[in-house]
C-alpha cells in the first residue's frame, strides 16, 4: 500500500471560502492595521494540541509578533493599555500584591497571552482569601469585562442604549442596578472608569445609594414570614419538619468510604455495617390497659359466663311414699274417668251446638258454599302420634266436603303424610273422590314453588299415577285455582309455612286450618283480625265436636266426646284438689324453700 | 288373596295393640318394654321415611331420567337440569367424608340461601305485616263517633292488646343503661313493662300447655278406644 503525500488543507478549501478569507484578512489587517487578541491567543500553541499546518498559520504570521516593538500599536489601544496599567498599579497598592505575579501564567506552562489580557485577568481575579463560585477558566473567558472596560471600545450609540437600558431596568424593578459581578468587599466593579464620570453624577450616585440602603432595610423588616396552610403543612416531607441536624445536639460522624470507587466520599449509604447489626428486638409490655369501667364490664361478663359453665347436678332422690301414692292416685282418677265412658260406649254428653266459635262457623259456611266437583287441596301435615286427635277434628270437615261433592287432592310435606291421609279418608263416613298427590319434598321452599307452579313441582311426583292430570284437577295451574285449601297440622311451624308461602300467594281461595289443640293457640292470630290470612279454623276434638254438632253428623268426635268431657272434668278436679291441699299445707312449702335456699 | 290382606290386617292390629300397651307402660316408669317399643317405632319411622324419599324423590327425579337418558331417551326436565341435579347431589354426598366435606359447601349454600330467602320473604308478608295490622285493628276505626257498648268493648280490647304487645316486647328488650358505680341495669319503666309482659307470656304458655294436654288427652282417649275395640274384636273371634 503506497503511502500518500500529506494533503494540503488549503487546497481542499472551496474557492468562495478562500476569497472570503482573503477579504477578511484585507479588512482586518490591511485597512485597520490592528491586532486581534483572539488571533494572538489562537496562534499560541496549546499543550496537547497538534501544531497547525504551516499554510493555515501563514496568514497570521504578521501578527504573531504582537509584542514586537517594531510594530507600534494604534493609539486607542495604547490608551486602554495605559489605563489598565494604572488600575493594576492602584489595586496592587491596595492589596500589596507583588509585581512579579504577572508572569505566573507563563511559568505554569500555559499558553502565552497578550500582556493586556493577562493584566485584565489579574484585574478581574478575586483578591486572595476570597472564594468565588465561578471556575477560574470560565471567569477568564467572560467577555463582558473586556467589552465594558472602556467606554471608548463601544460606539457612542451603543453606550447610550446601554445607559438607557440600565436606567429603565432600575426604574421598572425599583431596585438599583446591580452589576454582573463584583470584586472586592462590596466594591462595585463599574464597567467604566469612575474617574471619567462628572462630579454631579458621582454625587447623585452617592445620594441614591444612601436612599436605597434604608429602603432595603425597611423592606426586609416589612416582609412577614410566609404562613403555610394546614393542608400544605401536613404534606411537607418529614425532612422539612424534622431537621436532620438539631443545633446543640451532637451530630454523628458520617462514615467515610475508604475503599472502592467511592473512597473518600462522606454520607454514603451504608450497606454492610447496618445490615450486619443484629440484636434482640425490643420487649413491649403485653399488659392490657383497661379502664375501670371496662374492667367492671369484663368482670360482669366473666361472671355471666361462669354461671353458664356451671352444670346443675341432677338430684336423683327417690320419690317418697307420699309422692308415689299421690302419683298413682292422680293417674288412677284420670284413667278411670276415661275408661268408664270408653268401656260403656256412652254418649250422654250433648254435643256443643250453641254459639260455635267463629272459626268453626266460618269453615262450615265456606264448605257449604262450595260447588259440586270443586277441587279442594287437603294438606296432611301431622305425625302418627296425633293422628287420633286430627282424625276426630277433621273427620266432620272431610265428610262435609264429600257431601258437597268436592274432589280432594291430598298432599303432604312429610313422608308419613300420604299414608296418614289414606287412613284418614278411610274413617270418613261418606265416600267421595280424591287424588293422592303424594310427598312433596323441600319444606317451605317447595311450598313456595307449589303455590305458583304446582305442575312444575309435581310433574315427576309419583302417587297413584294420576297427579294433577286427574280430570277434576286439570284446571289447576296455581294454588289459587283450587276452590279451597284445607291444612291438617299438629305443628304450628308447619301451619305457619302454609300461611306464609301458600296463603299469601292466593287471592280468592280460602285457607282453612284444622289443627291439633296444641297448635291452635299459636295459629289463631292468623285467623282473627281484619288481615286474617286464615279464613276458617277448627281445633282439636273440641272443634271437631262443634263441627259435627253444627253439621249434624256423627263421627269420631262424637264418639270421643263423653270421654273427653269426663276426662277434662277429672283433670279440673285434680287441679282444684291439688291446689287446695297445697294451700292447706304451707309448712311444706316453707321447708322446701329452706332446702332450696340452703342448697345455694 | 283376600285372606292374605286379612292376615296382614290382623297382624297389624295385633302389633298395634301390643306396642300401644308397651307405650302405656310408661306410667310405671322408664321400663325396658317402653324403651323397646320406642326404639322399634323410631327405626320403623326412619325406614319408612327413607323408602318414601327413595320412591317419591330419588327415583322420579334422578334415577328414572338417568335411565331414560341411558336408554336413548330424553329426560323429562331436560338434560341441563339433570346434569345440574346430579352435580349438586354428588357435591352434597361429599359431605359424608371429612376430607371432602368442603366440596359440598356449594350445594349446602344453595340449600341454606334459598331456604333463608324464602323464609324471610314469607315471614314478612305472611306474619310480620299482617300481625302488626291485626294488633292495630282492634282499636275503633272511627274517631268521634258516639260511644256505645260495642265501641267501648272494642276500645277496651284495643287497649288490652296494646298493653299486651308493648309489654311483651319490652320483656325481650335486654338493653341496660350504664351506671357510674353499679352494674348496668334496666330502667324503671322498662322493668315495669317487662313484669307486665311476663304476665302475658305466662298466660300464653299456659294456653299452649293446655292445648298440649288436650292433644295428649285426645290421643289417650283414641288409644283407649282402639284397645277396647281391638280386644273386643279378638274376644269376639
Determine the distance in angstroms separating the CA of A519 from the nearest CA of chain B, rounded to an integer: 7
Instruction: Indicate yes or no: CB of A503 within 8 angstroms of CB of B212.
Output: no
Q: Is residue B161 part of a domain?
A: yes
CB contact under 8 A, A559 and B225: yes
Nearest CA in chain B to A499: B126
B169 belongs to a structural domain: yes
The number of domains in chain B is 1
- Local mean pLDDT, 10-residue blocks, chain A (600 residues): 47 67 59 45 42 42 44 74 82 56 43 60 52 44 45 56 55 48 45 56 61 63 70 68 52 65 73 61 74 88 83 76 86 90 86 86 94 94 92 93 94 92 88 89 91 82 63 90 95 95 93 95 88 91 93 89 93 92 71 45
Residues of B in contact with A496 (CB under 8 A): 126-127
**What is the predicted ipTM?**
0.88
Contact A461 B56 (CB under 8 A): yes
CA distance B5 to chain A (A): 16
Angstrom distance (rounded) from CA A71 to CA A65: 8
List of chain B residues whose C-beta atoms are within 8 Å of the C-beta of residue A443: 115
- Asked if the structure places residue B155 within a domain, the reply is yes
B103 found inside a domain: no
Query: How open is the CA angle A412-A414-A415, to the nearest 5 degrees?
Result: 105
β-sheet bridge partners, residue A412: A439
Mind telling me how many Å the CA of B139 is from chain A's nearest CA?
11
Burial of residue A520, with CB atoms counted within 10 A of its CB: 0-12 exposed, 13-18 middle, 19 or more buried: buried
Cite the residue boundaries of each domain of chain A with CATH code 3.40.50.720: 358-553
pTM score, two decimals?
0.61
**Do B122 and A541 count as a contact with CB atoms less than 8 A apart?**
no
Give counts: helices (H), strands (E), chain A.
Answer: 27, 6
Task: Give the nearest partner residue to B52 out of A415, A443, A460, using CB atoms.
Answer: A415
In a domain, B170, yes or no: yes
| Residue A533 to residue B130, Cβ atoms within 8 A | yes
Q: Burial-class residue B162 by CB neighbours within 10 Å (0-12, 13-18, 19+).
A: middle
The interface residues of chain B toward chain A in range 130-159, judged by CB-CB distance below 8 A, are: 130-131, 133-135, 137-138
| pLDDT tens per residue across span B142-190 | 555 566 677 788 788 888 989 999 999 999 988 777 666 667 777 888 8
> In the prediction, which pLDDT does A39 show?
43
Q: Which domain holds residue B149?
A: 145-237
Q: Is residue B152 part of a domain?
A: yes
Q: Is residue B186 part of a domain?
A: yes
Which among A296, A386, A443 has CB closest to B215?
A386
Of A338, A525, A556, the CB nearest to B224: A338
Q: What is the Rg, in whole angstroms, of the alpha carbon atoms belonging to chain A?
A: 62
- Number of Cβ atoms within 10 Å of the Cβ of A516: 30
* Digit-coded pLDDT (tens) for A108-132: 444 555 666 666 555 555 555 444 4
| Residue B120 Cα to chain centre, angstroms | 17
B202 contacts chain A (CB < 8 A): no
Q: Which chain B positions have a beta carbon within 8 Å of A459's beta carbon?
A: 76-77
Over residues B71-122, the pLDDT tens digits come to 888 877 788 888 888 899 999 999 999 888 899 999 999 999 999 999 999 9
CB–CB contacts below 8 A, A to B: 167
B4-20 pLDDT, tens digit per residue, is 557 888 888 899 999 99
* Domain membership flag for residue B137: no
Interface residue B225 vs chain A (CB under 8 A): yes
CATH class of A358-553: alpha beta
Minimum distance, in Å, between the CA of residue A250 and any CA atom of chain B: 52
* Any A CB within 8 A of B35 CB: no
A330–chain B nearest CA distance, Å: 11
* Furthest C-alpha separation in chain B: 86
Task: Choose among B133, B219, B225: nearest Cβ to A531.
Answer: B133
Amino acid at each position: 500500500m503506497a503511502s500518500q503525500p500529506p494533503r494540503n488543507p488549503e487546497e481542499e478549501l472551496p474557492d468562495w471560502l478562500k476569497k472570503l478569507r482573503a477579504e477578511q484578512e484585507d479588512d482586518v489587517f490591511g485597512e485597520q492595521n490592528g491586532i486581534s487578541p483572539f488571533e494572538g491567543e489562537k496562534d499560541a500553541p496549546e499543550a496537547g494540541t497538534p501544531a497547525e499546518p504551516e499554510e493555515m498559520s501563514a496568514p497570521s504570521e504578521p501578527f504573531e509578533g504582537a509584542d514586537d516593538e517594531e510594530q507600534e500599536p494604534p493609539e486607542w489601544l495604547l490608551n486602554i493599555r495605559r489605563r489598565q496599567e494604572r488600575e493594576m498599579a492602584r489595586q496592587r497598592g491596595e492589596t500589596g500584591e507583588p509585581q512579579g505575579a504577572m508572569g505566573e501564567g507563563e511559568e505554569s506552562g500555559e499558553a502565552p497571552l497578550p500582556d493586556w489580557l493577562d493584566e485584565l485577568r489579574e484585574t478581574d481575579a478575586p483578591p486572595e482569601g476570597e472564594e468565588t463560585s465561578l471556575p477560574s477558566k470560565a471567569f477568564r473567558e467572560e467577555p463582558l469585562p473586556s467589552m465594558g472596560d472602556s467606554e471608548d471600545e463601544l460606539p457612542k450609540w451603543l453606550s447610550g442604549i446601554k445607559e438607557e437600558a440600565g436606567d429603565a431596568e432600575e426604574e421598572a424593578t425599583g431596585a438599583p442596578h446591580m452589576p454582573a459581578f463584583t470584586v472586592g468587599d462590596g466594591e462595585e466593579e463599574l464597567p467604566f472608569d469612575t474617574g471619567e464620570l462628572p462630579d454631579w453624577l458621582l454625587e447623585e450616585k452617592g445620594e441614591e445609594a444612601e436612599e436605597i440602603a434604608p429602603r432595603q432595610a425597611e423592606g426586609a423588616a416589612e416582609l412577614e414570614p410566609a404562613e403555610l396552610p394546614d393542608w400544605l403543612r401536613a404534606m411537607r416531607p418529614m425532612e422539612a419538619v424534622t431537621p436532620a441536624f438539631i443545633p446543640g445536639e451532637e451530630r454523628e460522624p458520617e462514615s467515610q468510604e475508604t475503599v472502592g470507587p467511592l473512597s473518600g466520599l462522606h454520607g454514603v449509604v451504608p450497606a454492610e455495617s447496618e445490615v450486619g447489626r443484629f440484636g434482640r428486638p425490643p420487649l413491649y409490655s403485653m399488659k392490657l390497659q383497661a379502664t375501670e369501667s371496662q374492667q367492671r364490664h369484663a368482670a360482669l361478663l366473666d361472671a355471666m359466663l361462669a354461671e353458664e359453665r356451671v352444670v346443675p347436678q341432677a338430684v336423683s332422690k327417690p320419690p317418697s311414699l307420699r309422692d308415689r301414692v299421690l302419683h298413682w292416685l292422680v293417674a288412677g282418677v284420670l284413667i278411670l274417668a276415661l275408661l268408664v265412658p270408653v268401656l260403656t260406649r256412652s254418649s250422654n254428653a250433648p254435643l256443643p251446638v250453641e254459639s260455635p266459635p267463629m272459626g268453626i262457623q266460618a269453615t262450615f259456611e265456606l264448605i257449604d258454599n262450595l260447588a259440586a266437583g270443586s277441587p279442594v287441596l287437603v294438606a296432611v301435615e301431622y305425625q302418627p302420634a296425633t293422628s287420633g286427635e286430627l282424625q276426630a277434628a277433621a273427620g266432620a270437615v272431610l265428610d262435609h266436603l264429600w257431601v258437597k261433592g268436592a274432589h280432594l287432592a291430598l298432599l303432604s310435606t312429610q313422608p308419613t303424610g300420604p299414608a296418614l291421609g289414606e287412613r284418614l279418608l278411610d274413617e270418613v263416613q261418606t265416600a267421595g273422590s280424591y287424588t293422592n298427590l303424594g310427598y312433596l319434598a323441600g319444606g317451605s321452599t317447595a311450598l313456595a314453588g307449589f303455590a305458583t307452579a304446582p305442575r312444575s313441582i309435581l310433574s315427576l311426583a309419583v302417587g297413584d299415577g294420576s297427579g294433577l292430570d286427574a280430570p277434576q284437577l286439570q284446571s289447576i295451574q296455581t294454588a289459587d285455582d283450587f276452590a279451597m285449601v284445607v291444612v291438617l297440622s299438629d305443628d304450628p311451624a308447619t301451619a305457619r309455612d302454609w300461611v306464609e308461602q301458600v296463603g299469601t300467594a292466593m287471592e280468592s281461595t280460602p285457607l282453612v286450618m284444622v289443627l291439633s289443640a296444641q297448635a291452635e293457640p299459636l295459629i289463631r292470630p292468623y285467623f282473627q283480625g281484619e288481615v286474617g290470612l286464615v279464613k276458617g279454623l277448627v281445633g282439636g276434638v273440641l272443634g271437631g265436636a262443634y263441627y259435627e254438632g253444627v253439621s249434624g253428623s256423627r263421627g269420631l268426635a262424637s264418639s270421643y266426646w263423653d270421654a273427653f268431657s269426663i276426662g277434662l272434668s277429672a283433670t279440673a278436679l285434680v287441679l282444684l284438689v291439688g291446689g287446695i291441699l297445697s294451700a292447706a299445707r304451707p309448712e311444706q312449702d316453707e321447708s322446701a324453700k329452706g332446702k332450696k335456699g340452703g342448697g345455694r | 288373596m283376600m285372606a292374605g290382606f286379612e292376615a296382614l290386617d290382623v297382624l297389624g292390629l295385633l302389633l298395634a295393640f301390643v306396642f300401644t300397651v308397651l307405650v302405656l307402660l310408661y306410667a310405671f316408669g322408664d321400663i325396658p318394654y317402653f324403651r323397646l317399643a320406642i326404639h322399634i317405632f323410631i327405626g320403623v319411622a326412619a325406614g319408612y321415611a327413607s323408602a318414601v324419599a327413595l320412591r317419591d324423590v330419588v327415583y322420579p327425579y334422578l334415577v328414572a331420567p338417568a335411565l331414560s337418558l341411558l336408554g336413548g331417551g330424553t329426560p323429562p326436565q331436560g338434560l341441563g337440569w339433570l346434569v345440574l341435579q346430579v352435580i349438586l347431589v354428588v357435591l352434597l354426598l361429599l359431605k359424608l367424608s371429612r376430607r371432602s366435606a368442603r366440596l359440598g359447601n356449594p350445594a349446602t349454600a344453595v340449600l341454606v340461601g334459598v331456604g333463608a330467602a324464602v323464609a324471610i320473604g314469607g315471614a314478612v308478608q305472611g306474619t310480620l305485616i299482617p300481625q302488626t295490622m291485626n294488633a292495630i285493628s282492634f282499636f275503633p276505626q272511627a274517631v268521634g263517633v258516639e260511644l256505645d257498648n260495642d265501641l267501648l268493648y272494642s276500645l277496651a280490647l284495643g287497649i288490652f292488646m296494646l298493653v299486651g304487645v308493648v309489654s311483651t316486647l319490652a320483656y325481650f328488650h335486654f338493653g341496660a343503661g350504664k351506671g357510674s358505680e353499679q352494674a348496668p341495669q334496666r330502667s324503671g319503666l322498662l322493668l315495669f313493662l317487662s313484669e307486665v309482659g311476663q304476665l302475658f307470656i305466662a298466660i300464653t304458655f299456659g294456653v299452649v300447655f293446655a292445648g298440649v294436654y288436650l292433644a295428649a288427652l285426645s290421643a289417650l282417649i283414641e288409644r283407649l278406644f282402639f284397645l277396647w275395640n281391638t280386644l273386643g274384636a279378638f274376644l269376639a273371634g
